[in-house]
Amino acid sequence: MNYLPIFLDLRDRHCLVVGGSETAARKAELLLRAGAHVDVAALALHEGFARLPHPDHLQRVADTFTPGLLEGKDLVIVVEEDASRAKVVADAARARNIPVNVADKPALCSFILPSIIDRSPIMVAVSSGGESPVLARMLRARLETLIPAAYGRLSALASRYKDRVRAAIKPQQRRAFWEKVFLSPVAEMVFSGRDVEAESQLDAMIREGAEHDIRRGEVYLVGAGPGNPDLLTFRALRLMQQADVVVHDRLVSQPILDMCRRDAERIYVGKERDDHAVPQEEINLLLVRLAKEGKRVLRLKGGDPFIFGRGGEEIETLAEHSVPFQVVPGITAAAGVASYAGIPLTHRDYAQSVAFVTGHLKENTFNMNWEGIARKDQTIVIYMGLKGLPLLCEALIKHGLTADTPAAIVQHGTLPTQRVITGDLTTLPALAEQAGLKAPTLIIVGNVVKLREKLGWYQPELHSEQAHRTPLEAPDHLR
């Protein structure tokens, strides 16, 4: 994080804008809307200054900048094309410990101005750290469509009722109460302008909340997908933001963990090969205990929780202990990784069925239904098979597949560090060893692999800068 996002209280503070252009007028408008008094140093003012709000708080005080103009100022904004003149202002402000922003010259700034979504009192700021302001504005535009203007009125309603809620609802229940309110018809009433009905509904919810314990523990079993945050579902994102506790696997990617509620407790229950730090039975009971404490528990698992994710075992225990739960599917590695590798799992010319299997070795052997797996018209997707890849390929040939059956192994699928190695059942083990592949990987066997060369749309390995970055962690079940 190159900048700390903060919101400044500029009410009745004194600010200086150096420059009289249209851009300078827009900067001055932001300061005026925040309640500041604005002095302007410019030889002439763009006509936009005449249309600014609160004109009594705006005045042109000089034709050019002089250090004396900084006296008593709390903030400075510079809009100056000439870099040397802009630097003079920035240096003078820094010497006096006054925050300074220089438009389009981030190296001279002590703070930057983000793109703003104003739903006062709700404020949302988007910034690229000065590196790509156009991209930041595009993101702001997208968020504008997701955040109705009425959110400001909803926040104002909550503010008016804040003291009543504090008096009626127990401290440990208030967060859950407000989340219940914001997800209730109260919000929709405000959005549609039915404020009187909204207040009546909120009054009833306060009375009900004062009489009953509204805390209700629950477990959200959420699939985090194969590692790329863009592949999360909307429902997963919402529950990730609501949870009080996050119980996560070792290889759920950090960018996905960063999208969870920032103040949620995080509990690591990761498993490594031959080293299960927390046994599965203990994880199951941990979820029960946390939920019975009244907490909303996010069980975040890589891929899909019901495909080699032991999700069934976990909710079986929850059901036995009468703990409420819900399951949010995720994009499993087979679907996500195959798509990003350009290998369709089914194709009417090559494969009419798919088999998902684990390549986990036990005492150097596999426990598989080889007759049902080794079929030439079927795609085989193998999870956790890197370690036993040579033995796996030998077994598939032994049980009916030809030695030249196409096969691929994908490392870090869907991530910027994705690598795809293709060959056949004879050559793939050596190719994987030569490439130095490491977990997480996924193996795909079948004639559909032939389509990789034609359909391989996602090839980050072609960009050397991305290919040499530190790999993002990825889901446990891909190991």
Q: How confident is the model at residue 241 (pLDDT cuts 50, 70, 90)?
A: confident
Rounded to two decimals, the pTM is 0.65
| Active-site residue identified among 39, 249, 424, 476 | 249
| pLDDT mean across residues, the chain | 89
Q: Determine whether 89 is exposed, middle or buried from the number of CB atoms within 10 Å of its CB (0-12, 13-18, 19+).
A: buried
Q: Which of 170, 196, 211 lies at the terminal end of a domain, its last residue? A: 211
What value does the mean pLDDT take over residues 67-76? 98
Question: Whole domain around residue 25: which residue ranges?
Answer: 14-113
What value does the mean pLDDT take over residues 31-58? 97
Q: Do 474 and 338 belong together in one domain? A: yes
- Residue 68, CA atoms < 13 Å, CB-side half-sphere: 3
Binding-site sequence positions for S-adenosyl-L-methionine: 226, 302-304, 307, 332-333, 384, 413
Q: Do 326 and 342 belong together in one domain? A: no
Structure tokens at 453: 């060369």
pLDDT of residue 461: 67
pLDDT of residue 464: 43
Write the pLDDT tens digit of every residue in 80-100. Answer: 999 999 999 999 999 999 999
Q: Determine whether 11 is exposed, middle or buried from the number of CB atoms within 10 Å of its CB (0-12, 13-18, 19+).
A: exposed
**H or E element: which one contains 14?**
strand 14-18
- Residues 253, 473 contacting (CB under 8 angstroms): yes
Q: How confident is the model at residue 478 (pLDDT cuts 50, 70, 90)?
A: very low
Indicate the number of domains in the chain.
4
pLDDT of residue 157: 94
- SS3 call for 12: coil
pLDDT of residue 185: 78
- Does 105 participate in catalysis according to the annotation? no
Query: With 60 as the cut, is the pLDDT of residue 369 above it?
Result: yes
Percent of the chain with pLDDT over 70: 92
What value does the mean pLDDT take over residues 141-167? 89
pLDDT of residue 18: 98
What sign does the dihedral 226-230-236-241 (CA atoms) show? Answer: positive
- Does 163 participate in catalysis according to the annotation? no
Q: Which of 211, 228, 247 lies at the terminal end of a domain, its last residue? A: 211
Q: How far apart are CA 77 and CA 29, in angstroms?
A: 12
Binding-site sequence positions: 22-23, 43-44, 226, 302-304, 307, 332-333, 384, 413
Q: Do 345 and 473 belong together in one domain? A: yes
Q: Do 254 and 321 belong together in one domain? A: yes
| Active-site residue identified among 271, 295, 424, 476 | 271
